[in-house]
Amino acid sequence: MLTLEKFEQASELVKNVTIPTKLVYSEYLSRQTGGKVFLKPENMQYTGAYKVRGAYYKISTLSEEERAKGLIAASAGNHAQGVAYAASQFNCHATIVMPTITPLIKVNRTKNYGADVVLYGDVYDDSCAYAKKLAEEKGYTFVHAFDDLAVATGQGTIAMEIVQELPTVDYILVPVGGGGLITGVSTLAKMLNPKIKVIGVEPAAAASMTAAIKAGKPVTLPSANTIADGTAVKHVGDALFPYAKENIDEIILVEDDELIGAFLDMVENHKMVVENSGLLTVAALKKMDLKGKKAVSILSGGNMDVITMSSIVQHGLIQRDRIFSVSVLLPDKPGELVRVAATIADAQGNVIKLEHNQFVSTNRNAAVELRITMEAFGTEHKHQLMKALEKEGFSPREIGAKLY
C-alpha cells in the first residue's frame, strides 16, 4: 500500500541520487494565466528526468539476494537511465532492454551509467515482454517502469518537496503516461493537504488514463501516436489505477501542436530544454482558470535529442508566424528581385531563403515565380509584410514554409 510512512522514508532516501529542484517562479506564465505559476524542473536532474526517484526507492526495498541476482528493466529512455544510475549506486548489475529504434544518444547514456543494453523489438511493449522473459530465464529482478507501488512511492516524493516549499499550493499539474508519477504525487498530495487539486495532463492521442477512468478500469488503447513519446502508453498500470482514480481531480488533454508552442515558451522565457512529455503541464495551463491561485507544473524530463529539438523549433516558429513563405509572380527583367527585397526590408522583414523559378510560365516576360521565406515578429507583422508586397503590385500568395 501507499502510506505516509513510506513516502517519508522515500523522501529521505532519494536525496542520495537527486539534485534539489527548487521551484522556479514563471513571470511569463503567471502573466498569461492570471495566477502564480511555478515550475518543478525535474528536467534538471542528473539523469535528465524524475525517473531515478522511483528506480532508486524500488531498488532500496529489494533484499540483498534480489539485488545480487541483477536487475532488468525495459525502457526507451528515462526509466532506462534512472534504473541504470540507481543500480550503480547500489553496486548491482542492471540490464536494460530498449527498442531497436531508440536514439543512439539514449543507448550510450544508459551504457555510461554502467548498464548492459539489449536492443529488441520496435516498440516498448515488445521490449517489455522480452525483458520479462529474460528475467524468468536468468533470475533477474524486474523493475517496472510504472506499474509498481514502490516505484510510484519514489515518484511521489516530488509532492513532498512541492508542499514543503509552497505549502499554500492550490494546483499541481502532472504529466500522465503509465500512471506512476501521478499516482505517487496525487496520493501523497492528498495525504498532506486534501484541498490541493491534482490535475493530470495527457496527450490527446494517448489518453489511456482518461479512457481507464471512463471505463472504470484500465483499458488498452488501439494506438498511442504522439510526439510526447515519454507518455505514449496504451495501458495504465493496473496496480496504480485505484489510487489514481481516487486522487486525480481532473485530466486535461493536450494536442501535439500545443506542445510545440510550449517548447518555445520554455526555451525563450526560461532558457530550459524540456522534452515533449514534460511540456504537457505547461501547455495545459492555458486551459485553466488560475486567477488568484498558485499552480505548480511538473516538468518531468529534458531528454530530447538535438534533431528532434531542431524540428520542434522550426515548427514552432512557423506555427507562430515568425517564419513564413510567400510566392510572387514578377516579370523576368533586371531590377525586379531588388524591388521585392527592398519592399521586404522597408517593412522590417528578413529574407532567409529565395527560390527563383523561371519556368513557371512559357512566357517568361509575363511572369517568373519567386518563392520567399522570411522572418517576422509574429502574425501582425506578417500581415504588414503581405500588405507591403500587395501595395507594390506583387500579389503575394502564402505557401507552406520550409527551411530546407
DSSP 233: -
Catalytic residue, from 127, 186, 300, 325: name it.
300
Which residue from 317, 299, 252, 377 is spatially nearest to 26, judged by alpha carbons?
299
Instruction: Transcribe 212-226 into DSSP letters.
Output: HHHHTS----S----
Q: How far is CA 53 from the centre of its chain?
A: 18
User: Residue 300 catalytic?
Assistant: yes
The angle at the Cα of 235, spanning 141 to 241, to the nearest 5 degrees, equals 80
Catalytic residue, from 51, 58, 197, 245: name it.
51
Q: How far apart are CA 78 and CA 75, in angstroms?
A: 7
Q: What backbone torsions phi and psi does residue 13 show, to the nearest 5 degrees?
A: -65, -40
CB atoms under 10 Å from CB of 96, counted, come to 29
Q: How far apart are CA 6 and CA 151, in angstroms?
A: 11
Return the CA Rg of the chain. Answer: 25
CB 296 within 8 A of CB 166: yes
Cell readout for 362 is 512559357
Cell readout for 211 is 479512457
User: Residue 132 catalytic?
Assistant: no
Looking at the annotation, which residues are catalytic? Answer: 51, 300
